[in-house]
Each structure stands twice: as C-alpha cells, then as structure tokens.
Amino acid sequence: MSAEKWTLVGIPADTPVGSATAEDYVFSGTSEFSHETENELAERIVGKKKDWSGGPVEETISVTFPYDRELKADRALLDACKNGKQMRFWIINNEVITLSGGTAEGHNSTFAYVIPESRSLSVDDESETIEGSFKVKLNSAEGEEPKLPDVILDPSLAAAVVYEEIGAAEGNLEDASTQNI
C-alpha cells in the first residue's frame, strides 16, 4: 500500500524538546492520509464573462490510523482536539536520500503547525480507527528530516520481542527495560 511509503508525526506544540521523539508520536500503521491545499477563488464579472482571481489559501491534513489508546500519538491528538492545542506535524517520505550539502542520510519532509479540527473514533466489526483532520496555520514548509530510526521505517522491528531471562525485568512489555533498548 502506498501509505507505507510515508510516515506522519504529530507532536503537541507544548511538548518539551527532550520528550519530542518521532517514535512516541508517529501515527503508526497509517492507512491513509491527505494534504489538501485549497485556493478560495474570488469571482468577478467582466463583459458578461466570469473572471477569477486568487484568494486566501487554506491547507488541511487528514489522516486515518488504527486506534490504540496506549499510544502517545493518539492520546496527544485527543487532548489537542479537546483543548484547542496546536501541534507540530511532519509528513515524511520514507525514501532515504542524501541530505543537501552533505553525506548524511535523511528524508524529504513537509512541516506545519496545525490546529486539530476533528478526531473521530470509527469502530466496525473488523477494526477500530482514528480519523483526524488538521488545519494548517498560515502555510506548510518543505524541508529535509534526518534519517528516521529503523524501528519507524520497518514496523516489523517495533513488534519484535527479545529474549528476557527470568527475573531480569518487571512490568508490561512497554515498560520492561530489557525490551526497550
């Protein structure tokens, strides 16, 4: 599926820099997304014909992903919607490129400050999904992002459990020190 070629990250704007990690705020398993730019045209009549000119530009980002209340990304999105909080949003092309001006690897990316417009939980007999809609503040910007961790680019790595000796850790899988290396 084409959505696998993209990674979407949404971090609340008030998240401290030290806590703003892509792993925690990636919309995992994104099933679809869109980034729409709309020009509100102004109409005028010239000699019994319509003429158009450009007006205000509006951008909307919509995303659908599987629901998991344990993920920070979903909890942060719900909090931002309920409380009208801004988020920082990245749409990252997973294709690895050489960053301009160097030998480092990275990705082409689009960045925007957004206001969550809506978040809806859709449940049917097969799945539970979140649909989020975001309005872009002013405009989005194109740029490059350093290479994402392999755990994001290859989702199968995130689901891998490593061997743990008896008594080596405590707590759930998500909290065990032996599993979160």
pLDDT at 66: 83
Task: Tell me the per-residue pLDDT of 85-110, one tens digit each, with 9 for 90 and over.
Answer: 999 999 999 999 999 878 799 999 99
Dist CA 178 CA 47 (whole Å):
75
- pLDDT < 50: residue spans in the chain: 1
- Output the CA–CA distances (angstroms, integers) from residue 35 to 17, 66, 130, 177, in the order listed: 26, 19, 17, 38
Dist CA 137 CA 87 (whole Å):
10
Q: How many CB atoms lie within 10 A of CB 62?
A: 15
SS3 127: coil
Dist CA 13 CA 90 (whole Å):
12
Half-sphere exposure of 176 (CA within 13 A, CB side): 15
Amino acid sitting at position 66: P
Q: Who's near 174: CB < 8 A, 6+ residues apart?
A: 70, 180
